[in-house]
A and B are shown apart, each in its own frame.
Chain A
Amino acid sequence: MQTETKSTIRRRAFSAAFPRTIPILAGFLFLGISYGLYATAAGFAFWYPILMAVAIFGGSLEFVAVEMMLGVFAPVQTFVMALMIQARHLFYGISMLEKYKGTGWKKIYLIYGMCDESFSINCSADIPEDVDKGWFMFFVTLLNQLYWVAGTAVGAVLGSLITFDLDGLEFVMTAMFVVIFLDQWLKEKKHYTGVIGLAASAVCLLIFGADSFMIPTMMCILVLLTVFRKPIEQAGGLL
């Protein structure tokens, strides 16, 4: 191993990592392009979605951020929304405590770029013995982020050039959340948490109105999940 140069190690890790990310390539280009189009159709300059793709790097929240920037400035709601939408990353982190150990400076980037897709590859991949796991996970994370930023950039530039009617494109965000929600819903045997999410938001929307229902909704969800923890856990299917 000592005769191996650093570039050989990197090259081998890259060759092992790239094929694993190919399924993500298609998905991220598609969603990234949609996101770029969506943000520019909402009236933002092309660099806004690109900036968000790099800085936030979390698809769901990036869509929501565009919507929030169209409304009134609400920093507390923005931050709480970000925490709630991204809360699942806490659990990715917990699962990766062990795996990210000993990866040196790359660890910072691995954590920063830990989106759903990079997490699922890095968490489940059987990295071959002769491949450096730090560099493997680094390339998986980097490639996925590049796909997302590239897709977003293509969509954003197209969006600022396109002249045909993009009216209705904003529905891409709704469709995306419907699909993710449906996938989660189908995993649950009794659908308690899905119903809690829908019902709490619908009721709060009626009471507080479209501009200020999100914080009460998130509080209701946390309270309801805590109060009904027993039946929800007994119903099973939460994995």
Chain B
Amino acid sequence: MMLTQQMITIGLCALGTMATRFLPFLIFSPKKPTPKYIQYLGHALPCAIFGMLVVYCLKSVSITAAPYGVPEAIGIVVTVALHLWKRQMLLSIAGGTVCYMLLVQFIF
């Protein structure tokens, strides 16, 4: 990607973010209730979107060629196990990442 394209990409990310932050203040009034469908999406979207982002992170992992996604699977299992055990976000992220780094650097 050229520098200009990179700057446009960053600009679009910033624009998209600001659209979601400023829009409610431009279109909704504190007096009128927010449409039910919008409220529903507000509760239902996040879990689905973060599920999508997990898959997005793994999009280039090949399960048909060595190492068959094994390091990623182990890394995720460690992250989930740490999180279910301690519920400390930073510990789970750090533990899973370090485990994955050790796996790809020394084993796979």
Contact = CB atoms under 8 A, between A and B. Distances in A.
Q: Counting chain A CB atoms within 10 Å of each CB, which of B49, B80, B96 scores highest?
A: B49
Interface string A52-75: 100111101110110111111101
10 tightest Cβ-Cβ pairs between the two chains A and B: A82-B16, A197-B51, A93-B24, A197-B48, A168-B101, A201-B55, A91-B42, A184-B47, A238-B43, A175-B96
B33 to A, nearest CB: 10
Interface of A: 26-27, 30-31, 34, 48, 51-52, 55-58, 60-62, 64-65, 67-73, 75, 78-94, 97-98, 100-101, 107, 111-112, 114, 165-169, 171-185, 187-188, 193-198, 200-202, 205, 210, 213-214, 217-218, 221, 225-226, 229, 232-233, 238-239
Nearest to A181: B50
Interface of B: 1-2, 5-6, 8-25, 28-30, 34, 37-60, 71-72, 75-76, 79-80, 83-84, 89-90, 92-94, 96-97, 100-105
Nearest to A238: B43
B20 to A, nearest CB: 4
B55 A176 contact: no
